[in-house]
Structure 1
Amino acid sequence: MDDLYIKKVLNGDTEGFRYFITNYKDLAFTVAISVVKDEFWAEEVVQESFIKVFKNLKSFKRRSSFKTWFYRIVINEAFQRIRNEKKEHFYTDNFFDQEPTEENFAGLSAEEQIVLVQESLKRLSPKESLVLRLFYLEEQDTKTVSEETGWSESNIRVILHRGRKNMLAIVQQLMQNEFKTT
């Protein structure tokens, strides 16, 4: 379906671009928020990404799927936004041998678990947050994540490993500080 709308847009049907906005805006926002950690910035990244895609659609070589090409643009825009704003991202470098388990969420409601996961993702480094979201929440394999980010599969596996460990540390810290039961 993407190819049909790519042809329409390239043939001058600018209204055909709505298809891409409708179908990719939510996923683009999810990717952007993983990196920039701010809703306003994420919205700007998505908007800039769509503008870039529209202007450069004729340069799309079809070596990968449109989705992969678009994700890479969103990811690059998000990291560029961080570099431009020189925003500091605070995250932990602590590594634990323990893997996350359901026991870490014992006693929490489903809503509290969601809040805990979302807050943890905000506190991770942009790369870790992005890779964890793509791998676990978007259920993509390491090969697909590698294609979309431009990073090697071995690098993706390292980022996943570190991200899980750092997320566990953050979850434990949040539970001690914010979700303490008396």
Structure 2
Amino acid sequence: MQAFFANPEASAVTSDPVRLQDMPPQAQRAISAYLDNPGDADAAPEWTEEDVVHLHWRLLLELRRLPDPETPLEEKLDTLAWALTDPSLDGRPFSFANCLRVVGTSPMSPTPYFGLIQVDEIRAWLRTNSRKWIDATIARYPDWVQALIKAQPDWVAKQLARNPQWVNEQIKARQATQQDDLFAACDAGLPSQVPS
């Protein structure tokens, strides 16, 4: 699994949105057809096996962003929640375990063949490293945000689930308030009466 994170330059690429022109031609046609006529709900886009494998791979690429302190906290929590979900859901389409199975065993995978792997071992490795990765992101926030996250992690996670920009909005609101306070402090130094 360490090799998955061995290329930090490649992880920067994953932060870019998926571009239509980067997809296989058949996927491009299927998406274009859907966008041109979204009213036809019965006509499902045609996906090749290669398209499906690449979609599973794209989901796994999100794991590369976990060690990066610049990755937003909400993204890290979302990725970890997906990867560390209840093992009873492992058989569902696009679950973490299913993505590992599809990418690891398909001859159409963009990675070298690695076969079936023990999902529990990968999850244990993620759990072992997750605190360090989350702490690296939290360390970028002001002290009061760090204290809030450590004191009420579940509450903060709920706020982020509702609004991924919640932490940024709180920081901006507090900075605006502090700016107002700076001007108030300047006024406090002025004499209360102007001499005549």
Q: TM-score, normalised by structure 2?
A: 0.28
Please state which structure has a larger fraction of its residues in helix: 1
Q: Which has the higher contact order (CA 8 A, sep 6+)?
A: 1
